[in-house]
């Protein structure tokens, strides 16, 4: 197994993420229950969308106490690749692996639409040259309104940590932020769902370059071992 997809009680995009990574990208992936340890052969982790622990208290606030989170933190601190999608992004923020927080959409309603996004030149993996200047990806959340204090925002902008911005802000996020990364460039978080835009029946296939940017390091190091699923 190369990509571990963490399954919390209430995760509901875990199958989708596994399907996109394993069946579509052809990279071995497996769902890992939150009470388990992170397998030693893990090369990247996806924290999928859903409503972990019912999103009670605050989105992601309970999931961050799950047994697997200490392994995940260690994995991230050692430079392991981590991608949080939607509820996964919320969990990474709650766990302190990414800065800021996600609060209720300013429209006060859940939004499920195909969302136009602007790609930022963030680093050598995630930039307009590799992903194109704009993407359209599904969003589906009630609490995707990104908030951070001025100092954090200023750091994010100065360091080029913003990955994606909304074209036509659907939720009130500050600076139209839809996705960010950590300063080290190994922890990604985004509200849009790249795993829902990878096949011909999906509204777009714009999730493919996003997921490709995320798995690029493990493809480089392990390219010999990769085999079609």
Partner 1 sequence: MTAQTPSSLPPNPEPCLNVEITSDLVAQHGLLPEEYENVLKILGREPNLTELGIFSVMWSEHCAYKNTRKLLRLFPTEKVDKDSVGQVLVKAGDENAGVIDIGEGWGVAFKIESHNHPSAIEPFEGAATGVGGIVRDIFTMGARPILLTNSLRFGSLESSQVKRLFRGVVSGISHYGNCLGIPNMGGDVYFDDCYEGNPLVNALCAGILRHEEIQKGAATGVGNPVYYVGPGTGRDGLGGASFASRELTEESAEDRPAVQKGDPFMEKLLLEACLEMMAIPGLVVGIQDMGAAGLTCSTCETASRGNSGIEIDLDLVPQRETGMNSYEIMLSESQERMLVIVNRGRERELEEVFEKWDLHAARIGEVKEGDRMVVRHKGVVVADLPAKSLTDEAPVYDQPAQEPVHIAAARDWRVDSVSDLKSDGVGEALGKLLAHPTIASKRWVWQQYDHMVMSGCTVEPGSDAGVVRLSIAGIDKYLAIANDCNNRFCYLDPYKGAQIAFAECMRNLACSGARALAVTDNLNFANPNKPEAYHMLKECVKGLADACSFFDVPVVGGNVSLYNEHGQGAIDPTPVVSMVGLIDDASQVTRSFVAQAGETVLLLGGLPYELGGSYYLQTQFGKKEGRVPEVDLSAEKKVQDFLLAQISNNSVLAAHDVSEGGLLVALAEMLFGEADLGLSVAFDSRGPSGRLDSLFFGESQGRVLISVSAEKEASILLAAQESGLVAQALGSTDDSGRFKISVEGDEVFDTTVRSLRESWSQAIPNYMQ
Q: Any contact of residue 34 with partner 1 (CB under 8 A)? A: no
C-alpha–C-alpha distance, residues 35 and 43, integer Å: 19
Whether 86 is catalytic is yes
Rg (CA), the chain: 16
Shortest distance (Å) from residue 25 CB to partner 1 = 13
Binding mask 99-118 for partner 1 (x = CB under 8 A): ----------xxxxx-----
Whether 59 is catalytic is no
Q: Edge-to-edge strand order for the sheet containing 81-85?
A: 29-33, 3-7, 44-47, 81-85, 187-190, 177-181, 162-166, 111-119, 134-141
Among 151, 168, 184, 200, binds partner 1 (CB under 8 A): 200
Among 182, 199, 204, 222, binds partner 1 (CB under 8 A): 199
Stretch that binds partner 1, among 4-12, 96-104, 118-126, 143-151 (CB under 8 A): 4-12
Q: C-alpha distances in angstroms, 40 versus 2, 184, 194?
A: 10, 22, 26
* DSSP H or E run through 34: none
Q: Any contact of residue 201 with partner 1 (CB under 8 A)? A: yes
State both tokens at 61.
């606030």
Nearest 5°: phi and psi at 127?
-155, 175
Residues that bind partner 1 (CB under 8 A): 9-10, 12-13, 15-16, 19-20, 33, 35, 49-51, 53-56, 109-113, 138, 140, 142, 193, 195-196, 198-203
Residues acting as catalytic residues: 86, 193, 195
């Amino acid at each position: 197994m190369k990509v571990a997809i963490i399954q919390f009680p209430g995760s509901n995009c875990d199958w989708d993420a596994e399907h996109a990574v394993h069946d579509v990208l052809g990279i071995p992936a497996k769902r890992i229950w939150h009470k388990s340890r992170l397998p030693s052969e893990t090369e990247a982790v996806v924290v999928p969308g859903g409503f972990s622990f019912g999103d009670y208290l605050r989105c992601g606030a309970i999931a961050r106490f799950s047994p697997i989170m200490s392994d995940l933190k260690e994995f991230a601190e050692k430079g392991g690749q981590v991608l949080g999608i939607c509820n996964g992004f919320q969990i990474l923020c709650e766990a302190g692996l990414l800065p800021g927080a996600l609060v209720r959409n300013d429209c006060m309603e859940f939004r499920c639409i195909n969302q136009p996004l602007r790609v930022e030149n963030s680093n050598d993996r995630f930039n307009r040259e590799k992903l194109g200047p704009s993407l359209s990806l599904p969003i589906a959340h009630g609490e995707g309104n990104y908030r951070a204090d001025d100092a954090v925002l200023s750091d994010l902008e100065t360091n080029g940590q913003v990955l994606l911005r909304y074209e036509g802000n659907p939720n009130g996020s500050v600076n139209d932020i839809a996705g960010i990364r950590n300063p080290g460039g190994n922890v990604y978080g985004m509200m849009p769902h790249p795993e829902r835009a990878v096949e011909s029946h999906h509204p777009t296939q714009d999730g493919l370059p996003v997921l490709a940017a995320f798995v690029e390091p493990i493809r480089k190091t392990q390219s010999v071992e990769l085999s079609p699923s």
